[in-house]
Amino acid sequence: MARKNRVAVIGASGRMGKAIIQVLSQSKISELSAAVVGKGSVYLGLDSGLHSGLKQNEILFSDDLSKSISESDTVIDFSIREVLSDVLSICKEFKKPVVVGTTGLVETHKDLLKETSKYIPIVYSPNMSIGVNLLFKLTEIAAKVMGDLADIEIQDIHHRHKKDAPSGTAEKLKAILLETLSRTESNIVHGRHGILPERDPKEIAIHTLRAGEVIGDHTVYFFTPEERVEISHKAQDRKTFAVGSVKAAEFLIGREKGLYDMFSVLGL
């Protein structure tokens, strides 16, 4: 039997880390090799399997980033953006492919991803869900067909604990619309308030809601005078993002250096 792909999970004690560990426990191709948490974490030394609602797996939470990455085949990073440069530097040093699902990245982080991808293969996506990446593709198709005829709105709903707004997924939807329709940031409006002039035909509005325990809902609306098209994705279980992340890690096995997205992983 072939040896499984050994995966180090960065940010392993969080919601996404737990979900990824659960998915890895059922994978026929990959297995957990290291579970990394932040320096001084209260979870240090605890069994990552038990913490993730599984049986004991004897892989203890560690804060040794370098050792964890060097002993893995592939890395999945769902930590915080402040750690990204360290993760990429160590992955580059040990020639390890990495899946980056950390949200809230700014242009400097994205530039760092591009630079590091000259040396190792990287999958980066603001959303690892298979369904959300289908949403991205359908939004692109709808924009090509209806974009110049329709008023376009994006709605982003997440749980009350989420810190970044709009979400990375909403930002990606915005980027798809701007590129497809040859528009710019000057066409973007974030919510509305007060007495406003008539809507500009090229305006694209983003509305952000943060409430309750919503895992993640996104809808793109195309309104014409005659009809309305809504393209929606609603996450029902955080595991959907974990499934896509593990699929991305397996996609990277033997892959050439470069920056890939989930369209590449899914063949879209």
Tokens of 163: 């810190």
Q: pLDDT grade, residue 1 (50/70/90)?
A: low
Domains 5-128+238-266 and 130-234 fall in the same CATH topology? no
User: Which DSSP string do the residues of 50-65 spell out, in sequence order?
Assistant: HHTTS---S-BEE--H
- Binding residue per annotation — 103? yes
With a pLDDT cut of 70, the percent of the chain lying above it is 100
Nearest to 36 by CA among 70, 79, 95: 79
Q: Is 15 annotated as a binding residue?
A: yes
Q: What DSSP letter does each residue of 13-58 carry, written as one string?
A: TSHHHHHHHHHHHH-SSEEEEEEE--TT-TTTTSBHHHHTTS---S
The pLDDT tens digits of the residues spanning 10-35 come to: 999 998 999 999 999 999 999 999 99
Residue 267 annotated as binding site: no
Q: Spell out the domain ranges in the chain.
A: 5-128+238-266, 130-234
- Which pLDDT does position 187 carry in this prediction? 98
**What are the tens digits of pLDDT across the range 107-153?**
999 999 999 999 999 999 888 899 999 999 999 999 999 999 999 99
With DSSP H G I counted as helix, E B as strand and the rest as coil, what are the percentages for the chain, rounded to 5? 35, 25, 40
The fold adopted by the segment(s) 130-234 is: Dihydrodipicolinate Reductase; domain 2 (3.30.360)
| Average pLDDT over every residue of 93-103 | 95
159 annotated as ligand-binding: yes
Give the residue-averaged pLDDT of 155-174.
93
Q: Is 184 annotated as belonging to a binding site?
A: no
- Show which residues are catalytic: 158, 162
| Mean per-residue pLDDT of the chain | 95
Pick the CATH number of 5-128+238-266 from 3.40.640.10, 3.40.50.720, 3.40.50.620, 2.60.120.10: 3.40.50.720
pLDDT tens digits, one per residue of 214-250: 999 999 999 999 999 999 999 998 889 999 999 999 9
